[in-house]
Structure 1
């Protein structure tokens, strides 16, 4: 059996996928409608909207299967997202890449597979719209065209979610995306006794950048800061812009002292970028760190209030 390769942009791809805050959510009619149409249009017993996570493929919509996910190692969709067009297997039992795959030798006994990658607005391939049959079959050029059209409809629905949860300028989560995703994280942390840290950040002198160098440069400063937050963090961290020059990072599995290390790395990275790009100003910030204790859990809003207060205290001290 051939396991899927990892895309070259895997870290960024996973960041975009998780920023959608769609993994492990309830079924939605707008996606279920499309898998029903796909099943009827192509006369296949199974049609799925899959999202390929780091170690699993999870089904946002599913016709014909009782499970919600499988391991990425044995997934057909893990292969499909490596290409740009439809990935078609006429008879998996005769394909050396899949003939001994447990999804072929056992339930659901896949023989035919066709999956078209689904992309975000930024072009990241996060999953597929796929068709599965228990009998071998051919797939014509017309079939590929029709599957492409249905996949575009899935992408349009994802774009609606993306626009509602992603900050257009910095391409990190907006406040809504942060709340949606962080609530799931905190519930998981509470159940599994995982510590975390929320870092509340506010840029220093942002008005000066706008007034002295223009609003276009101010926008570039915000974009640079948003990219820096993701660059020095991990794919499991949540980065968000609350609005204006206020940002938040939720560091998974990180205690207070580890959050300070993140801050030190962020400062160093911003200084490096300043030197490389010869920026005429320095991007600096005040911050407040709140540790999440799974034994005394707090809501996202509580953490934000406490982080904001701590950040403001530090900002007052540095301005004296």
Structure 2
């Protein structure tokens, strides 16, 4: 890794972004399940302002992710392609009455393309510590005015969204699947890990992700997607022991802690769950569906002694399973043997993928990091070469990488 120096203004900007991402990471909301509280705020935006599009979003190192959105088909957009990047940079509200008359947006793809955006009003979503973690927006496909009173109402709705975020920090059970929430799962997992370390017994972690879940939602609707998630969760709970821990990490991603289970037995347990999920038919008004899941496994070790490391390791193995064809199980131990990978920790850092003799750069978010590898999220992995340079400005270094596995948005890399 090579250290780099930056000017004063650049250093201040990097620090602000690092602190902002740390605040976002602490809330642990990215890729979390849909929530009716946010959906209600979005509906209020549409009704109060009579606009076609309302959204509540979070912004990480490379994308704007829609915590809730009505009126747009996408779930996220690269941050450089969104109006909201100006709100993020300035940390102030922005109103665009007619995008076709604003030189910043007249040629913007959201204006010239099928979304046909004309009006935009966005306010920052700020924590109590004043870190801007996202935006709350009212958007329309026809030009319109927006009064000072309207702006005040939109800011109040942003405050309500932040109140909802704070309330979610105390929730322990996912209302759809009855699994533990991500925060509650991590809290209880740490207690089980502490017990395992104190009494020197085995413990393993599984991460599973439903394969091609977006296709289910797109072709059969969100109601079908909800039934799939409930069925996968019920299948897992039916096969787990009383003392096992089961949580929902994100939209279609779940995690399991298996006390008194070592690495080899964890793979046996994962394979049983994988086959049970694949064999189950899910029926409803949408017809009958069969889905599969990809599993990653990690186990307590000298380097894996906390839940963040175990999840990062299992996550890396799961994405390798997806890269190998999906509907299969992979252990982090096998990745260690093949690629020399060691401890990982979950992080949330803004990065850049640099290639083509430094002429091409793609924004990314680093989601896990170790001394010899990383997990990276991008808007689309298409076009990213098998070898590139990863730069993390907040840490002042860059390093060459080789891709170990990939899917549409995720890369697992080894440092060279």
CA contact (8 A) 1:164 1:177 kept: no
Gaps of 5+ in 2: 1-12, 173-182, 191-248, 251-307, 321-334, 336-340, 351-366, 375-403, 406-416
* Aligned match of 2:370: 254
> CA 1:18 to 1:94, structure 2 compared with 1: closer, same or farther past 3 Å?
same
SS in 1 for 2:150: helix
Question: 1:187 deviation in Å?
Answer: 5.3
CA contact (8 A) 2:64 2:82 kept: yes
Q: Confirm or deny that 1:97 pairs with 2:96.
A: no
Question: 1:85 deviation in Å?
Answer: 3.7
2:162 pairs with one of 148, 155, 163: 155
Distance 1:97 1:150 in 2: 26
Question: 1:129 deviation in Å?
Answer: 0.7
Distance 1:94 1:177 in 2: 54
Task: Describe how 1:1-320 pairs up with structure 2 within 5 A.
Answer: 9-162=16-169, 175-176=186-187, 182=308, 185-186=312-313, 188-193=315-320, 195=341, 197=343, 235=349, 252-255=368-371
Question: 1:103 deviation in Å?
Answer: 1.0
After superposition, give the CA deviation of every residue in 1:236-285 in whole Å (9 maximum; x if it has no partner): 7xxxxxxxxxxxxxx92425899xxxxxxxxxxxxxxxxxxxxxxxxxxx
**What is the TM-score of this pair, normalised by structure 2?**
0.43
Question: 1:235 deviation in Å?
Answer: 2.9
Q: What number of residue pairs does the alignment pair up?
A: 204
**What is the TM-score of this pair, normalised by structure 1?**
0.55
Distance 1:177 1:117 in 2: 33
Distance 1:120 1:178 in 2: 27
After superposition, give the CA deviation of every residue in 1:87-139 in whole Å (9 maximum; x if it has no partner): 11111111111111111110211110001101122211011110110111110
Root-mean-square deviation over aligned CA pairs = 3.6
After superposition, give the CA deviation of every residue in 1:278-303 in whole Å (9 maximum; x if it has no partner): xxxxxxxxxxxxxxxx99xxxxxxxx
> CA 1:108 to 1:160, structure 2 compared with 1: closer, same or farther past 3 Å?
same
* Aligned match of 1:206: none
SS in 1 for 2:67: strand
> CA 1:98 to 1:7, structure 2 compared with 1: closer, same or farther past 3 Å?
farther
The structure that is strand-richer by fraction is: 2
Distance 1:15 1:53 in 2: 10
Gaps of 5+ in 1: 1-5, 166-172, 200-229, 237-250, 259-293, 296-320
Distance 2:84 2:314 in 1: 29
Distance 2:124 2:136 in 1: 7
> CA 1:98 to 1:253, structure 2 compared with 1: closer, same or farther past 3 Å?
same
SS in 2 for 1:98: coil
Distance 2:68 2:316 in 1: 26
CA contact (8 A) 1:121 1:159 kept: no
Distance 1:95 1:122 in 2: 32
CA contact (8 A) 1:118 1:129 kept: yes
SS in 1 for 2:349: coil
